[in-house]
Chains A and B, each alone.
Chain A
């Protein structure tokens, strides 16, 4: 009885040793690797947050989104437009990004959760394309395909290394928040709907309501990633909301591993490294990435995280999240 008590508690608590380990590795890369490595680390960190926000939806809410970049893009544009069109100072505009993304998630989510499975996915695709098209076409307001540039010093004018540390801090806080959500009563309800919506409904839940909450939180986190990305590069382009980024997020989650909290993080590391280094060696880098993806999906259905867990059990270690 007592062991059980501590078990549920333990599961929901954040293991700060792992957080510290992750942060230490990141800091080592940032400070030992110099400016170039810091830029790469920043990109990986932002992608890790973006992929994790989709992972929340896919692994825990059992919802596959084919339009997740919409919220990344809304984050970037919410921030950028707040500065350019509303003259809001940068320090405040950073809050506009995630809020705009969250509102976008709430509105599109309300539409999408009316359907399930592939029909849900198709609706998210449609919502994503609507967002992209509006950003792309509305020249007067969004700058259209030329995007918005030169409105701020990239990285708030911070050095590559200090901005990487800043990003690391934000991403860690966001991931801790996400962990907290997943292991809270709210998270248990979200997971319940994801695993059997009929059982959850028969027990008194409104599944759509829970799905909408999960969708909105996910959009909010993607919006933070998008805002960071706009600050990082000091620009915003419609592509940030386009199919390319949507696909990237899906690949990262599948590569990193579904059903695992760390899936998005592993996926972002592996995918960004592949995207950066493979083109240096071979031109058809997409082919290589495709083959690697194929191999991983076939070899370990739950991605890198699943593979790592299996290795740990084989070596007789306890399973880390």
Chain B
């Protein structure tokens, strides 16, 4: 096998006495599409936060492209090629959809230290193209406050893509969408990720979506990796079913 693009070694994260992640060891191969599933409170979002830098203070080691990035700030990680979306989408609520995407581009490109609106005109076509990619071009002039939660998720996904990252982390990208919307969005995700050769790690509760999109599935339970395997293996795993039924989540 190749060198993994992301490699977590014995990652542990505590909040006070509470152990949110315990001995998480995890390898992700380049260009793989990996789903991270598990009951509520399993530590999925915490893991994403540790990788992308929003949650500092993890013990253990996180390697990205072979480099130890455990202690880096989110902005430094973004520059190295890690992009993410949040479980509760984060966008700029009092700006238009267009301004949100423009902002994502100037931040990712580092072209913000300028007083010249030339920067905007130069990026305009790319901004529209990306909005088109995620199906938001027709809403470009709407203020984000006024669009649906699902649309905000799609916008944020596009904003994460604007950085052209190598590793894309999506925390519940389809939460709050209808079944049709979910499949539509995830088909689009797969297409965009495939065509640009990105690695994808996504957290998802909808099992249909997981099996449709993921090549490998990692199941987390109570802060640890419970089992890993292909969708088929996971579907057939009785222990996994017990965990899900036992915790009574879905």
Contact = CB atoms under 8 A, between A and B. Distances in A.
A206 B111 CA distance: 13
A206 B99 CA distance: 19
B73 interface: yes
A204 B120 contact: no
Contact of B115 (A8, A186, A207, A210): A186
Given A4-B140, A8-B98, A188-B106, A205 B54 contact: no
A283 interface: no
A180 interface: yes
B90 A184 contact: no
B99 A188 contact: yes
B167 to A, nearest CB: 13
Interface residues of B, number: 44
A210 B124 CA distance: 23
Interface stretch (B20-28, B33-41, B74-82): B74-82
Interface string A240-252: 0000000000000
Which of B78, B104, B117 has the most C-beta atoms of chain A within 10 angstroms of its own C-beta?
Answer: B117
A195 B92 contact: yes
A181 interface: yes
Contacts of B91: 196, 199
Contact of B92 (A5, A183, A196): A196
Contact of B86 (A180, A198, A204, A205): A198
Interface string B98-125: 1100111011101111111101110010
Interface residues of A, number: 31
Nearest to B110: A204
A56 to B, nearest CB: 14
Interface string A194-233: 0110111111111100100000000000000000000000
Contact of B120 (A8, A196, A206, A207): A8
Nearest to A195: B92
B117 A189 contact: no
A205 B128 contact: no
Contacts of B78: 201-204
A167 interface: no
B212 interface: no
A203 B107 contact: yes
Contact of B112 (A185, A202, A207, A259): A185
A9 B111 contact: no
A203 B124 contact: no
Contact of A5 (B52, B74, B110, B124): B124
Given A198-B86, A202-B74, A206-B73, A4 B92 contact: no
Nearest to A1: B128
B54 A188 contact: no
Contacts, number: 116
A195 B94 contact: yes
A180 B115 contact: yes
Contacts of B163: 203-204
Given A196-B92, A205-B75, A4 B108 contact: no
Contacts of A207: 75
Given A198-B54, A198-B86, A199-B91, A185 B111 contact: yes
B102 A8 contact: yes
Contacts of A201: 54, 73-75, 78
Nearest to A8: B120
Interface in A120-149: none
A159 interface: no
A68 interface: no
B177 interface: no
A173 to B, nearest CB: 15
A210 B103 CA distance: 13
Given A4-B128, A196-B92, A206-B73, A9 B112 contact: no
A305 B9 CA distance: 55
A155 interface: no
Considering the complex of A and B, which 6 residue pairs feature the smallest CB-CB distances, nearest first?
A204-B78, A189-B112, A199-B90, A203-B107, A195-B92, A184-B115
